[in-house]
Amino acid sequence: MSSGFSSRPASSPDPVTTWGRRCLALGVGATALLAPTGTWALKTLPPRAWTAPAVPASSAKHPRNDALPAVDRSAFERDLWWTLPAPGAANATAEQATTKPTALPLGLDLVGVTDLGGTLIAALYDRRADRLLLVRHGESVLGAQVLELTRERVTLVHADGELVLTRRRPGP
Q: How far apart are CA 159 and CA 65, in angstroms?
A: 65
pLDDT digits (tens, 9 = 90+) for 85-114: 666 655 555 555 555 444 556 688 888 888
Residue 85, domain member (yes or no): no
Report pLDDT for 20: 92
124 lies in a domain?
Answer: yes
Q: How far apart are CA 7 and CA 33, in angstroms?
A: 39
The 10 Å Cβ neighbour count of residue 158 is 17
Give a yes or no: residue 172 inside a domain: no
Number of domains in the chain: 1
Query: Could you tell me if residue 125 is inside a domain?
Result: yes
157 Cβ contact list (under 8 Å, min separation 6) = 144, 145, 147, 163
- CATH number for the domain that contains residue 139: 2.30.30.830
Query: CB of 152 within 8 A of CB of 91?
Result: no
In tens, the pLDDT along 16-56 reads 899 999 999 999 999 999 999 999 998 888 888 888 888 76
Range among 70-74, 85-89, 139-143 with highest mean pLDDT value:
139-143
By the 10 Å C-beta count (0-12 exposed, 13-18 middle, 19+ buried), 97 is classed as: middle
Q: Is residue 6 part of a domain?
A: no
Task: Walk across the sheet containing 153-158 and list its strands.
Answer: 140-141, 144-149, 153-158, 161-166
Q: How far apart are CA 167 and CA 150, in angstroms?
A: 10
pTM recorded for the entire structure: 0.39
Confirm whether 155 is domain-assigned. yes
Residue 13, in any domain of the structure: no
| 150 within some domain | yes
Q: Which domain does 152 fall in, by range? A: 93-166
Beta bridge partners of 132: 125
